[in-house]
Amino acid sequence: MPIHLPSQSRRQFLFTTGAAIGAAAITPADVWGNDVEEDLVYLLNDTHIGEKHPADSPVPSHLRQVVDELVALERKPACVLINGDLALKDGQPGDYRHLAKLIRPLQEAKIDLHLTLGNHDHRETFYEVMREQRLESPVVESRHISVVETRYANFFLLDSLKETMVTQGTLGAEQLAWLAKALDERPTKPAIIVSHHNPRLGGDPNHFPGGLIDSEELWKVIAPRQQVKAYVHGHIHDRGFAAHQGIHILNTPATSYVANPALSTTGWTTVRLAASSASLTTHTTDVDHPWNGQTKVLEWRR
């Protein structure tokens, strides 16, 4: 049975429809009240929610932990981004039904929530179950993409899902052309690119084979556009900071599980934005983990 999620907010509607490209942007004061921290963004990825997780599986509990934290906040973040691999393995309908149930408290609290897709997702099944996520007029056919505007940065949410259960990702020429146009129409505010797959540039070469196939083509679009400051990805189930041609590459922790708990852990990331920088704080599901509460300040290229 399809899940009918609450309607998009006015801000989300304006910045995710094709009509938004080229439209006059509304100022944050038009859409945010005093109960929103305009500089705060939550980043999650690799939730891997499944319909048939064992009762004692920590994976749904990890997502519940961050959802509970968000709902309990006195002031909401500007937005919450969940960056791909929403589903357990291959994007079954029950996976998305369970995910919709877990994130419903965020929507009931009117927290602005945006989702991207990864290689363990199935785009059409995602749309069939979570109908409100499908746009009537997608800006790029068969791609789940959007622009989320906040006071201090614009987030460009891309769709790197090449094929379900295929490790590598790709953006494609049409999506890259859209990105170039969307960036050119928003030249003055810092731009942060969000996509599930890691680029095959900068970062850890061990993971390049499973990363974004058209990384060089992407960098040809974003490197010359000085408003682009960072690229955020998941996919690796680890944490890391790198850079290529002045653009920060941020590998954020998986919410679900890791391959080697001795080297990594699960959690989520909060971002405090400023005009010329961002502070990233790691929050781990194990509150005693050494990473918990660690903050890294990133200065934007000029």
Mean pLDDT within 139-153: 95
- Residue 218 is which amino acid? L
> With contact defined as beta carbons under 8 Å apart, do 280 and 271 qualify?
yes
Q: Quick one: pLDDT band at residue 138, thresholds 50, 70, 90?
A: confident
> With contact defined as beta carbons under 8 Å apart, do 164 and 91 qualify?
yes
Assess whether pLDDT exceeds 70 at residue 292: yes
Q: Which among 247, 233, 301, 296 is positioned nearest to 84, based on CA atoms?
A: 233
For 10, which DSSP code?
Answer: H
Q: Residues 64-121: pLDDT tens digits? A: 999 999 999 999 999 999 999 999 999 999 999 999 999 999 999 999 999 999 999 9
Every domain of the chain and the residues it spans: 10-299
- pTM here is 0.90
Q: Quick one: pLDDT band at residue 55, thresholds 50, 70, 90?
A: confident
> With contact defined as beta carbons under 8 Å apart, do 249 and 241 qualify?
yes
- CB pairs under 8 A, 24+ apart, for 287-293? 289/265, 291/239, 291/253, 291/265, 291/267, 292/267
Q: Residues 229-246: pLDDT tens digits? A: 999 999 999 999 999 999
pLDDT at 249: 98
Mean pLDDT within 153-172: 98
pLDDT at 7: 33
Q: How many whole angstroms separate alpha carbon 37 and alpha carbon 191?
A: 19
Three-state DSSP at 268 gives strand
Assess whether pLDDT exceeds 80 at residue 178: yes
CB atoms under 10 Å from CB of 41, counted, come to 27
pLDDT at 293: 98
pLDDT at 54: 77
Domain 10-299 adopts which CATH fold? Purple Acid Phosphatase; chain A, domain 2 (3.60.21)
Assess whether pLDDT exceeds 60 at residue 30: no
Assess whether pLDDT exceeds 80 at residue 27: no
Q: Residues 106-119: pLDDT tens digits? A: 999 999 999 999 99
pLDDT at 5: 35
Q: Residues 197-221: pLDDT tens digits? A: 999 999 889 999 999 999 999 999 9
> With contact defined as beta carbons under 8 Å apart, do 285 and 52 qualify?
no
pLDDT at 79: 97
Q: Quick one: pLDDT band at residue 31, thresholds 50, 70, 90?
A: low
β-sheet with 267-273: strand ranges across: 113-116, 76-83, 36-44, 267-273, 277-284, 295-299
Structure tokens belonging to residue 267: 């959690």
| H-run or E-run covering 123 | helix 123-129
Share the mean pLDDT of the chain. 90
